[in-house]
Chains A and B, each alone.
Chain A
Amino acid sequence: MTIKKLGPEELLALDKFSVDEGNPHIIVDKVICAKCSARECLIVCPARCYRLKNDEVNFEYVGCLECGTCRVMCSGKGVTSWNFPGASFGVTFRCS
C-alpha cells in the first residue's frame, strides 16, 4: 500500500518552506487565548499550527500554509496581527 494516512508532520514535510527566523507573520496573544473557550484554531487550522500544550494554546508559525482560516475564525481575537510572510519567505507550492 503506497497510500497511507498521513499525520500533521508528514503532511507538512511534503511542502517546501523558507522560514523567516524570529519574524512571525502572525502574532498570537497567549493571554487572550487563555480566556478563550471556543478555540476554533485548534480544529480548523489546516496546518495544525495551533496546538494545546499544558492547557495553553501554542502557536508555531513555521508550517503555516498562509490560508487565513485562523484570522477569519478566531472569535476570541487572540490572533492580534495577521500578515503574509515577508518577500520570499513562507510556503512554496509546486504542484497545487
Chain B
Amino acid sequence: MADDKFDAIVVGAGLAGSACAYTLAKAGKNVLLVERGNTAGSKNVSGGRLYTYALELLEPDLYKRAPLQRKIVREQVMLLNERGATTIDYFNPDFGENIPQSYSVIRAVLDEWFAAEVEAQGGMVASGILVDGLIEENGKIVGILTGGEEMRADVVVAADGVNSLLGQKAGLFPDVKSHAVGVGVKETIELPDNLINARFGVTAEEGAARVAIGCTEGISGGAFLYTNKGSISLGIVFNPEQAAKQQRHIQDIFQDFKMHPAIQALIEGGTSVEYGAHLVPEIGYQGIPKQLHREGFLVVGDAAQFGINTGLIIRGMDLAIVSGLAAARAIIASPSTAEMGALYMKQLEELLLVANQRAYQNFHGIFEISRIFGGYPKLANDAMQFMFTVDGKTPTPMVKGLLRAVKKHATFGQMIADGWKAYRSL
C-alpha cells in the first residue's frame, strides 16, 4: 500500500496544477498530475495573455523555454460605437525591460509543454483521467477516486478550474455564484504573420493586446484581442446575469462585434479555426472562498477564484502559477498534513498574491456603471466625429459641439455620480 501512495496528487494540468507539480517534482516529491483532457490544455480556453513574472518566480529563465506567442509591446484600448472606433495605443518596446512583462499564449500549446516539464522533473502525468471524487478518512482527504479505482496521497491539490467540483465535494465552498463570474466566448482566427505585423505595427516576435468596450449592447463586459504567432484570439466576456435579461444570444452579439468595421479590418484574410467558451472569475478578492484548504486538501488557481480584472489588466494565469507555487512550497515545508493549510495561506501572503488581490478588491464596482459599456464609448466617438468633421459649413464653436456630444449620452448629474462611483472603487 505504501508503495502506491503518492506524496501529492494534483488534479488538473492547467497552469496552477503544473506549477505546483513541477515544483514538487523538482524537490524530489513523488507527485501525480491528473488531467481529464487527452492532453494538457485540450480542455482549456483563455484570452490569453500571461504576465511573465510568475514563470520567473517559479524558476529563473523558465519563460525562455516556454512556447509563448508574442511579447506584448502594444497595449490598446478601443471604444466602439455602431460603426466607429476610438483607439488608444500605448507602445513600449522595452516593456518589462530585461524580463518581458507579458506574452500572448495558446493554452493547448503552453499547457502541454508545462506538463512535459513536470514529467522531465520526474513527476508522473496521467492524461485522459477524470476524477470522480475524493477519499476521506478520519476527517482527512487521503486520495482520489477515478473510474472506480482509488489513488492515495498525503495531499490532494485541487487545480480543477473555475467550476471546481472537487472543492465543492470537499465541502469547502458552495458552487460559484452567477454574479461572481463572466462568461467568455472566443474565436481563434488564423492570420499570416506578415499581416499581423503590418496591421498591428509590431515585429515578428512582438505583439499587441487590445481591450474594447461598447460592443456588448450595454451588458457589463468587454472584448479582447490578442495577437499570437499566426493567429488572432478574439473574444468577449459578458456578465451572464445582465446578458440573460436581454433577448439577444451572446453568440450573436459576439459575431456582430467580429464584423464591426474596425475589427473586421484587422482580421480580414484570416480563417476561423476554433470556437471556445470559459467562465472567468470576475469579482477578484471578494470572490475568493473563505476556506481554501482542509487537512490533506489545498485549492489553487481558478478553482480558488483567483483573478484580477481592472478593465485594462486581466489576470488569472499568473495568479494560478503563483498559487500553485505557494501550495508546493507549503507541501514541501510541512512536517505533516496538519500544518499544510496554514502554510499555504502564509505562502499566498509571502508571494504577494493576497496583496495583489486586495489592491483591487473593490475594483469590480466600476463595472456596475452601466454607461461604461454603452453611453461613454458612444460619447467618445461622437466627440471625435465632431472634432474631425470638416464640411465647409459654419463650424459649431468647440465647447458647444463637445457639450452637445456629451449631453446626448449622459447628464452632468449622471457623470458626477458615475465619477464618484469610480473613485470609490479604485
Contacts and interface: CB of A to CB of B under 8 A. Distances in A.
B250 interface: yes
Contacts of B43: 66, 90-93
B351 interface: no
Contacts of A84: 36, 130, 165
B130 A86 contact: yes
A40 B264 contact: no
Given A68-B162, A93-B42, A14 B273 contact: yes
A11 B275 contact: yes
B106 A96 contact: yes
Majority SS at the chain A contact face = loop
Nearest to B41: A93
Contacts of B44: 93, 96
A11 B264 CA distance: 17
Nearest to A89: B130
B245 to A, nearest CB: 8
Which interface residue of B188, B246, B251 has the most chain A CB atoms within 10 A? B251
B83 to A, nearest CB: 15
Interface stretch (B174-182, B311-319, B365-373): B174-182
A87 B271 contact: no
Interface in A1-22: 1-6, 8, 11-12, 14-15
A68 to B, nearest CB: 4
B269 A2 contact: yes
B301 to A, nearest CB: 15
A43 B178 CA distance: 14
B153 to A, nearest CB: 19
A66 B45 CA distance: 10
A85 B175 CA distance: 18
A56 B133 CA distance: 34
B244 A43 contact: yes
Interface stretch (B276-284, B330-338, B339-347): B276-284
A37 B377 CA distance: 33
A69 interface: yes
A72 B175 contact: yes
A83 to B, nearest CB: 7
B77 to A, nearest CB: 22
Q: How large is the interface on B (under 10, 10 to 19, 20 to 34, 35 or more residues)?
A: 35 or more
Given A46-B251, A72-B181, A95 B264 contact: no
A93 B259 contact: no
Contact of B37 (A42, A83, A92): A92
Contact of B275 (A5, A15, A69, A73): A15
B248 A43 contact: yes
B45 A93 contact: yes
Contacts of A90: 43
B130 A2 contact: no
Nearest to B182: A69
Instruction: Identify which of B107, B175, B183, B268 gathers the most chain A CB atoms within 10 Å of its CB.
Output: B183
Give chain A's interface residue range (CB within 8 Å of chain B): 35 or more
Nearest to B146: A87
Contact of B251 (A1, A8, A40, A83): A8
Contact of B250 (A46, A72, A86): A46
B175 A14 contact: no
Given A3-B259, A6-B255, A68-B163, A44 B183 contact: yes
A66 B44 CA distance: 10
B227 interface: no
B62 to A, nearest CB: 22
B175 A71 contact: yes
Nearest to A64: B277
A69 B188 contact: no
B186 interface: yes
A3 B248 contact: no
B276 A93 contact: yes
18 contacts: A3-B189, A5-B255, A15-B275, A43-B247, A46-B185, A65-B275, A66-B43, A67-B278, A69-B240, A69-B277, A71-B163, A87-B36, A92-B42, A92-B43, A93-B44, A95-B108, A96-B46, A96-B106
Interface of B: 36-38, 41-46, 106-109, 128-130, 147, 162-163, 165, 175-178, 181, 183, 185-189, 231, 233, 238, 240-241, 243-244, 246-251, 255-256, 258-259, 264, 267-279
Interface of A: 1-6, 8, 11-12, 14-15, 38, 40, 42-44, 46-48, 65-69, 71-73, 83-88, 90-96
> Which 8 A-B pairs have CB atoms at the shortest separation, nearest pair first?
A46-B277, A40-B244, A68-B163, A11-B275, A96-B276, A67-B277, A65-B277, A96-B45
Given A65-B276, A65-B278, 6 more contacts: A2-B270, A40-B244, A46-B277, A91-B276, A95-B231, A96-B44
